[in-house]
C-alpha cells in the first residue's frame, strides 16, 4: 500500500509547480485560503476581501495548512488535492481486496488514478478530490456494514472473514463511525452532495429484500453525529454572517444550482434541459478515459450476471449520475465521486477475463507515459494566463501598500497572483464595485421566484448612447482611482490606454501582454499601468 500511495502521489504531484492556476475555480480556492490564513479566521472564508459562501471550509483548511509548510504558491495550493487522490487510490485498493482477489483492488486503484478526470483534478487546487476521498470512505464503510448480506461463494474464500456471533456476521462498530464521520467530512468539503452514500444505502432496502438497515446503520444517532460535527463550524459561521452563509451557500449554490445553470454551465430553457439530460452519460466516455472504452462490455456483463456486490456499487455510482442529471448546472467533473465505484465494478468483473492482466498493464503504461509527456508542455500554459505574465513583468515595481483596479479582465487569477506582492484588493472599475465586504442577500430577497436562479451580472448595454455613457463613467472612475492617495495600478485593455492617458504621466510605467482568457476562451491584449 505504501508503494501505491507513493506512486500515485508522485504521478499527481508532477507539474503542480509549473502549471499556473487556471481561472476561475483554482484561484478562488487558493486566494480564499490565503486570506483565511492572513485574517487568522478559519470560520468564514473571504475572497478579495468579500464573503465567499460557495463552499464549506474544509478544503480551505487543508490549503492553509499546506501554505504554512510550503508558502502561498501554486504548488502548495494544489498539494492537498494530490494527497487526497493518493489516499483515495489506497482506499480503493484496500476495499477491492475485500470484494474479490487482491488484484481487484490494485486494478481499481490504477484505473482511478490514470483516468482523465482524476489526472486533471488531482492537480487542481479545488475541493473535488477530498469529496471523492470521503464519499469513497463512506461507500466502503456502508459496504462493510452490509457485508454479510453480500456473501457469495467467491467472497467466502477471501482472506478476511468478519467475526461471527451465533453464526451471523457482526460488522465492526468502527465501520459505523467511519461511515458517519465520512459523511460529515464530505459535507464540510462540498455540502449536501457529500451525502449521496446515504442514498446508495437506502437503495439496498429494495435490492436486498429483508435487510434491516436501521439495525446496521442506527440512523438517528448517526445523523445526529453528522449534524453535530457540521454544527461545530456551521453555527459560528451563521452567527458571524447573520445567517447569510446558509442563505447563499444553500439557497444559491445548492438550490439555485439545481434550478438553473449557474455561470453559463447548463440549460437556459426547459427544452435545452431535456436535451442535456444524457450529458453525464455521454461525457463519461472521455472523463473516465481510457477505461471508458470497456463500459459497454461492462454494461452487457452486469445485465447478464447479477451479483449483490455489483448492485451496491451500481447503486452508488448511478445515484451520483442521476442526482447531477436532475441538477440544471452541469460540468463534466461533477460525477467524479462515482469513478472509484466504476473502477471497482470494472476491475471486479475483469478478473475472470484471461487477457485482462496484460490489457490493463499495457493500457496503464501507455496512459501514464502520455500523461507525463503532456506535462512537459505545461510551462507553455503560463502564456495563457495574462495575470501571471503581468505580475512577473511588474513585480519589481510593486509595493505592499498598493491597491489595484481592473477593466474587463476581472478574473480571480488577478487577485491570486498580484496579492503575492501587494496587500491591497482588486476593484472592478467597470462596474464601480469596490473590494469592501458586502453582505449576502437576506432570505426574503433570495426566496423570490427567480431571485436565486442566476449570479449577478453586469447590465447589458443596449444602445450606442448607453455604451458611450458607460465608457465615460468607466474612464472617470479609473482616472479618479489612479489619483487617490497611495500606490496604485490598473489593468486595462490595451486599446483603452490612449483613451485614458494620451500622454502617460511622468514616472509612470506600463507593461503589456497578450494571451487568452482561460475561463472564456477569448483572446486578450492587456496593459498594466
Among 63-72, 155-164, 223-232, 327-336, the range scoring the smallest mean pLDDT is 155-164
At residue 458, the pLDDT reads 52
At residue 198, the pLDDT reads 96
What whole-number distance in Å separates Cα of residue 76 and Cα of residue 19? Answer: 12
At residue 169, the pLDDT reads 52
At residue 230, the pLDDT reads 94
- Kindly indicate the confidence band of residue 508, based on its pLDDT and cuts at 50, 70 and 90: very high
At residue 435, the pLDDT reads 59
At residue 365, the pLDDT reads 94
* Residue 165 pLDDT exceeds 70: no
More confident residue, 260 or 49: 49
At residue 163, the pLDDT reads 44
What whole-number distance in Å separates Cα of residue 99 and Cα of residue 29? Answer: 37
What whole-number distance in Å separates Cα of residue 276 and Cα of residue 492? Answer: 37
- Stretch 347-360: mean pLDDT: 87
At residue 444, the pLDDT reads 37
Which residue, among 385, 416, 281, 336, has the nearest Cα to 127 in the 3D structure? 336
pLDDT, tens digit, for every residue of 378-415? 777 777 789 999 999 999 999 999 999 999 899 999 99
At residue 436, the pLDDT reads 57
Buried-exposed string 251-266: b where 16+ CB fall within 10 A, e elsewhere:
bbbbebbbbbbbeeeb
Mapped onto helix, strand or coil, the DSSP state of residue 269 is coil
Whether the full predicted model's pTM is greater than 0.85, yes or no, is yes
CB atoms within 10 A of CB 46: 19
- Kindly indicate the confidence band of residue 451, based on its pLDDT and cuts at 50, 70 and 90: very low
Across the strands, what pairs with 51? 46
- Kindly indicate the confidence band of residue 248, based on its pLDDT and cuts at 50, 70 and 90: confident
Cα distances (Å, whole numbers) of residue 146 to 142, 162, 201, 424: 7, 11, 9, 55
At residue 171, the pLDDT reads 63
Domains of the chain by residue range: 2-155+167-375, 385-454+463-528
CB atoms within 10 A of CB 139: 28
At residue 208, the pLDDT reads 87
**Packed helices 58-70 and 173-190: angle between N→C axes, nearest 10 degrees:** 80
At residue 446, the pLDDT reads 37
Break the chain down into helix, strand, coil percent, rounded to 5: 65, 5, 30
Question: Is the backbone peptide bond immediately before 120 cis, with ω within 30 degrees of 0?
Answer: no
At residue 433, the pLDDT reads 58
Mapped onto helix, strand or coil, the DSSP state of residue 451 is coil
What whole-number distance in Å separates Cα of residue 241 and Cα of residue 177? Answer: 31
Q: How many CA atoms lie within 13 A of 206 on its CB side?
A: 5
- Kindly indicate the confidence band of residue 253, based on its pLDDT and cuts at 50, 70 and 90: low
Amino acid at each position: 500500500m505504501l508503494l501505491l500511495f507513493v506512486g500515485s502521489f508522485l504521478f499527481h504531484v508532477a507539474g503542480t509547480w509549473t502549471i499556473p492556476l487556471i481561472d476561475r475555480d483554482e484561484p478562488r480556492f487558493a486566494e480564499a485560503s490565503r486570506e483565511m490564513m492572513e485574517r487568522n479566521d478559519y470560520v468564514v472564508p473571504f475572497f478579495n476581501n468579500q464573503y465567499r459562501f460557495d463552499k464549506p471550509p474544509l478544503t480551505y483548511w487543508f490549503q492553509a495548512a499546506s501554505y504554512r509548510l510550503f508558502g502561498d504558491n501554486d504548488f502548495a495550493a494544489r498539494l492537498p488535492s494530490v494527497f487526497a487522490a493518493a489516499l483515495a487510490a489506497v482506499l480503493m485498493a484496500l476495499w477491492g481486496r475485500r470484494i474479490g482477489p487482491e488484484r481487484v483492488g490494485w486494478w481499481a486503484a490504477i484505473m482511478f488514478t490514470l483516468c482523465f478526470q482524476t489526472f486533471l483534478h488531482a492537480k487542481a487546487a479545488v475541493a473535488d478530490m477530498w469529496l471523492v476521498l470521503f464519499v469513497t470512505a463512506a461507500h466502503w464503510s456502508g459496504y462493510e456494514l452490509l457485508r454479510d448480506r453480500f456473501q457469495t461463494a467467491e467472497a467466502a474464500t477471501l482472506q478476511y472473514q468478519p467475526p461471527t456471533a451465533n453464526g451471523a456476521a457482526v460488522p465492526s462498530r468502527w465501520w459505523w463511525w467511519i461511515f458517519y464521520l465520512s459523511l460529515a467530512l464530505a459535507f464540510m468539503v462540498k455540502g449536501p452532495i457529500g451525502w449521496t452514500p446515504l442514498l446508495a444505502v437506502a437503495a439496498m432496502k429494495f435490492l436486498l429484500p429483508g435487510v434491516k438497515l436501521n439495525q446496521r446503520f442506527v440512523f438517528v444517532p448517526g445523523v445526529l453525529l453528522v449534524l453535530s460535527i457540521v454544527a461545530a463550524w456551521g453555527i459560528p459561521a451563521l452567527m458571524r454572517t447573520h445567517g447569510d452563509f446558509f442563505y447563499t451557500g444553500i439557497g444559491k449554490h445548492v438550490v439555485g444550482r439545481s434550478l438553473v445553470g449557474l455561470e453559463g454551465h447548463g440549460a437556459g430553457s426547459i427544452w435545452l434541459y431535456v436535451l442535456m439530460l444524457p450529458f453525464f452519460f455521454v461525457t463519461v466516455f472521455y472523463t473516465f478515459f481510457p477505461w471508458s472504452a470497456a463500459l459497454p462490455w461492462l454494461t452487457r456483463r452486469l445485465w447478464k450476471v447479477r451479483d449483490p456486490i455489483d448492485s451496491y456499487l451500481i447503486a452508488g455510482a448511478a445515484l451520483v449520475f442521476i442526482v447531477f442529471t436532475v441538477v440544471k448546472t452541469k460540468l463534466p467533473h461533477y460525477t467524479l465521486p462515482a469513478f472509484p465505484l466504476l473502477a471497482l465494478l470494472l476491475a471486479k468483473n475483469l478478473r475472470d477475463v484471461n487477457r485482462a492482466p496484460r490489457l490493463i498493464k499495457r493500457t496503464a503504461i501507455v496512459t501514464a507515459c502520455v500523461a507525463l509527456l503532456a506535462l512537459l508542455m505545461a510551462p507553455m500554459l503560463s502564456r495563457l494566463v495574462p495575470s501571471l505574465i503581468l505580475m512577473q513583468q511588474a513585480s519589481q515595481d510593486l509595493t505592499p501598500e498598493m491597491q489595484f483596479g481592473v477593466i474587463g479582465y476581472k478574473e480571480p487569477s488577478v487577485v491570486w497572483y498580484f496579492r503575492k506582492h501587494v496587500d491591497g484588493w482588486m476593484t472592478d472599475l467597470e462596474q464601480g464595485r469596490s473590494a469592501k465586504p458586502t453582505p449576502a442577500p437576506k432570505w426574503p430577497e433570495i426566496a423570490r421566484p427567480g431571485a436565486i436562479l442566476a449570479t449577478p451580472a453586469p447590465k447589458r448595454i443596449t444602445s450606442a448612447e448607453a455604451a458611450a455613457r458607460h465608457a465615460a463613467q468607466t474612464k472617470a472612475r479609473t482616472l479618479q482611482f489612479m489619483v487617490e492617495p497611495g500606490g496604485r495600478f490598473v489593468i486595462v485593455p490595451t486599446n483603452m490606454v490612449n483613451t485614458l492617458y494620451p500622454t502617460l504621466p511622468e514616472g509612470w510605467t506600463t507593461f503589456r501582454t497578450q494571451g487568452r482568457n482561460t475561463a472564456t476562451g477569448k483572446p486578450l491584449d492587456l496593459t498594466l499601468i
